[in-house]
């Protein structure tokens, strides 16, 4: 069985990931994780997340994968014991210190070695397994052929996890000092400012004050800007290589992004597992992923080094732009539903339903009322609950979106 592993930066994205079909979710507490600017979870929030996840028969993994210094070790054992007490299903780690504490103190936690551990060969994978790791999150730089070789030369008791979708880093296994040097915010401590996404100019010594733009075209160039990973067209190859956990990147991403990506991969994986021999790829699933995209796509290193094809140096146009307009908060009654607004929408606009239970349905907004029944021409207020018409049997947790005209990526 393939595990579909989704990110959660807050409670809303956790609920969304579970609702749209993730088998497992990974997140961070307020410390030791590598996404310092996500909302992340307090200890009580982690306990709530564990309870919510397990109630649905799903799994919860917690990131404890930042680079640790001496002062970070104080309190680490207490934190790991707490994670064990709330029954999380695994911790994602980079630093061997976490493994040592878990082993020395006999803390019953499953250990997953992070992609930042930079595991690219079967001897390293076997080494970490002997040290107590139950799963390896493979380096993003390994190919499918290399994954197959790792699988053939490691024990069956060692699970293999790999990223299949999301942002790519210009640095090997995400180990980058660029943000730290330019902004003082360390990516290895979860505070990356993503300077690889910035636009750059050339400066020649001796010509102070003169900066020369690096042009690819009239929009400029972004020489370190990686395309996003997308492997949904290659589910069989990933499974045959030995990967059993398909991981989606994005703990800083929105609930809409998580819903779109989990929904597409859930359908692809289910179709493959129901009939591996007769499986064929549904092209509409790729279209679904484009709807939530802000960059071009690449297959990363799975078929070899992509070189310049892995970079989006011109910040290309979105092929299609959709706006997340609302989350459904009540089931329909007499053709009326309650929606929590997320972006402005108006009477006369066509909204599309994103749901794990409905496919390719849309409707025209004919009426908008506030919760007291007062009619409105639009829903302009952030997170305002409103009532609108809807002819379909939607459910709480379904999302609404609007198809907009093409526009340049911001």
pLDDT value at position 186? Answer: 67
Angle at 88 between CA 37 and CA 247, to 5 degrees: 60
Q: What is the pLDDT of residue 167?
A: 85
So where are the chain's domains? 3-172+226-310, 321-404
pLDDT, tens only, 248-269:
998 888 999 999 999 999 999 9
Structure confidence at residue 407 (pLDDT): 45
Q: How far apart are CA 162 and CA 139, in angstroms?
A: 8
The pLDDT score that the predictor gives to residue 2 is: 97
Handedness of CA 94, 234, 360, 3 (dihedral sign): negative
Q: Report, as an integer, the average pLDDT of 117-140.
A: 96
Higher pLDDT, 169 or 100: 100
Whether 306 shows a pLDDT value over 50: the answer reads: yes
> CATH assignment of 3-172+226-310, given 3.30.420.480, 3.40.50.300, 1.10.340.70, 3.20.20.70?
3.20.20.70
Q: How far apart are CA 62 and CA 18, in angstroms?
A: 16
Edge-to-edge strand ranges of the sheet holding 375-376? 361-364, 350-354, 399-404, 321-333, 336-341, 385-389, 368-370, 375-376
Say whether pLDDT at 70 is over 80.
Answer: yes
Mean pLDDT of the chain: 88
H or E element, residue 283: helix 283-291
Residue 168 has pLDDT above 60, yes or no: yes
Q: What is the average per-residue pLDDT within 236-241?
A: 97
Q: What confidence tens digit (pLDDT) does each residue in 132-145 have? A: 999 999 999 999 99
Q: Where are the beta strands (DSSP E) in 79-190?
A: 90-93, 111-113, 133-137, 159-166
Phi-psi region of 278 (alpha: psi -120 to 50; beta: other; left: phi over 0): alpha
CA dihedral 191, 245, 141, 116 (to 10 degrees): 30
Min mean pLDDT across 207-211, 234-238, 404-408 is at 404-408
Residue carrying structure tokens 């290589």:
241
272 band by pLDDT with thresholds 50, 70 and 90: very high
Q: Is the pLDDT of residue 287 over 80?
A: yes
* pLDDT 10s digits, 13-44: 999 999 999 999 999 998 886 655 556 789 99
CA dihedral 164, 169, 172, 174 (to 10 degrees): -90
Q: For the structural domain made of 321-404, what CATH number should be given? A: 2.40.30.10
Tokens coding 95: 């630093």
pLDDT of residue 332: 78
pLDDT of the residue at 263: 97
* Per-residue pLDDT at 410: 30
Residue pair 370/376 in contact by the 8 Å Cβ criterion: yes
The stretch 96-125 carries a mean pLDDT of 96
Confidence (pTM) = 0.86
């Amino acid at each position: 069985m393939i595990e579909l592993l989704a990110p959660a930066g807050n409670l809303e994205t956790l609920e969304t990931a579970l609702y749209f079909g993730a088998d497992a979710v990974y997140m961070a507490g307020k410390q030791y994780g590598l996404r310092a600017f996500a909302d992340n979870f307090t200890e009580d929030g982690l306990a709530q997340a564990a309870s919510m996840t397990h109630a649905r028969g799903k799994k919860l993994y917690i990131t404890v994968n930042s680079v640790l210094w001496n002062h970070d070790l104080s309190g680490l054992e207490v934190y790991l014991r707490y994670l064990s007490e709330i029954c999380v299903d695994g911790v994602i780690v980079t630093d061997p210190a976490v493994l040592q504490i878990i082993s020395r103190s006999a803390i019953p936690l499953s250990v997953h070695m992070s992609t930042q551990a930079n595991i690219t060969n079967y001897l390293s994978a076997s080494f970490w397994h002997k040290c107590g790791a139950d799963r390896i999150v493979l380096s993003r730089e390994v190919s499918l052929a290399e994954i197959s070789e790792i699988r053939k030369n490691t024990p069956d008791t060692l699970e293999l996890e790999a990223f299949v979708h999301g942002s790519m880093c210009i640095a090997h296994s995400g180990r980058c000092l660029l943000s730290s040097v330019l902004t003082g915010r360390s990516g290895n401590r979860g505070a990356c400012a993503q300077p690889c996404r910035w636009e750059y100019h050339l400066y020649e010594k001796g010509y102070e004050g003169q900066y020369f733009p690096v042009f690819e075209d009239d929009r400029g160039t972004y020489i370190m800007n990686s395309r996003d990973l997308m492997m949904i067209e290659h589910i069989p190859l990933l499974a045959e290589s030995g990967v059993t956990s398909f991981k989606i990147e994005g703990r800083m991403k929105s609930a809409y992004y998580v819903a779109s990506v989990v929904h597409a991969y859930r359908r692809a994986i289910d179709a493959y597992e129901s009939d591996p021999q007769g499986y064929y790829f549904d092209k509409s699933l790729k279209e679904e992923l484009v709807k939530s995209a802000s960059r071009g796509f690449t297959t990363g290193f799975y078929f070899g080094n992509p070189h310049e094809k892995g970079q989006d140096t011109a910040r290309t146009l979105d092929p299609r732009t959709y706006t997340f307009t609302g989350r459904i908060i009540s089931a329909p009654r007499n053709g009326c539903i309650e929606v929590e607004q997320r972006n402005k929408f108006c009477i006369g606009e066509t909204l599309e339903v994103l749901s794990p239970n409905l496919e390719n349905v849309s409707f025209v907004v004919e009426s908008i009322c506030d919760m007291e029944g007062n009619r409105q021409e639009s829903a302009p207020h952030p997170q305002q609950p409103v009532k609108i018409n809807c002819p379909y049997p939607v459910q709480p947790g379904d999302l609404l979106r609007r198809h907009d005209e093409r526009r340049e990526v911001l």
